[in-house]
Chains A and B, each alone.
Chain A
Amino acid sequence: AQKVTQAQTEISVVEKEDVTLDCVYETRDTTYYLFWYKQPPSGELVFLIRRNSFDEQNEISGRYSWNFQKSTSSFNFTITASQVVDSAVYFCALSEAVNDSWGKFQFGAGTQVVVTP
């Protein structure tokens, strides 16, 4: 069974503050993929990043950065210098590439980020 935990239901910050979203996952497979998606009020999912289980290198993309640690089964996401436009629900997701789990995404509960001016 696979499981994704996003323990933070909602995080409120003031603009320009940094915010870190936690994601902890469970899987028995050695090959898997982790994702982060942004869901603004419109509902459409916006892809942010994909990581495979063999690539633990951290990544930075503009104000976004990700910290993947297999030792703690975590894939955390940080928004630096937050902006009002960052207000959305953020989902962490896990996908395994084998057998009957092929392509299936297991989403975490999501974290609502509220950025106020």
Chain B
Amino acid sequence: GAVVSQHPSWVICKSGTSVKIECRSLDFQATTMFWYRQFPKQSLMLMATSNEGSKATYEQGVEKDKFLINHASLTLSTLTVTSAHPEDSSFYICSAALTSYTQYFGPGTRLTVL
């Protein structure tokens, strides 16, 4: 199957700093990518839909100014957590869509904010 990578795999940062997470589809082009967040022992919650060449659409309750998404190319979407705080510590997972029902998930990025 297709491969989606995320970088970094894990990151520790100080409160108040910004962190950028990359999501790349390595062997296919994805017009649409999705970003999910997963807190410990909880389910994955969709944060936003990232569309190449246009603004991301955010789910209700997700602060767009806090979580900046840029889908710069058909193989790359980035999520920037701005002014991160301890409550932003979570597991962030992206997926890249070939079709609405064929998606490939990245391995996830574990963010810890001190």
Contacts and interface: CB of A to CB of B under 8 A. Distances in A.
Q: How large is the interface on A (under 10, 10 to 19, 20 to 34, 35 or more residues)?
A: 20 to 34
B32 A105 contact: no
Interface string B35-52: 010100011111001000
Contacts of A44: 105, 107-108
Contact of B100 (A37, A103, A107): A103
A64 B12 CA distance: 38
Contact of B107 (A37, A43, A52, A106): A43
Contacts of B45: 107
Interface string B76-114: 000000000000000101010101111101011010000
Contacts, number: 56
Contacts of B101: 33, 50, 52, 95, 97, 103
B67 interface: no
A91 interface: yes
B93 A103 contact: no
Given A102-B100, A103-B49, A109 B95 contact: no
Q: How large is the interface on B (under 10, 10 to 19, 20 to 34, 35 or more residues)?
A: 20 to 34
Given A97-B101, A103-B100, 8 more contacts: A43-B91, A45-B108, A47-B105, A91-B43, A102-B100, A107-B45, A109-B42, A110-B42
B28 to A, nearest CB: 15
Interface in A62-114: 91, 95-97, 102-110
A112 to B, nearest CB: 8
Contacts of A37: 105
Contacts of B97: 103
A105 B110 contact: no
A56 B95 CA distance: 26
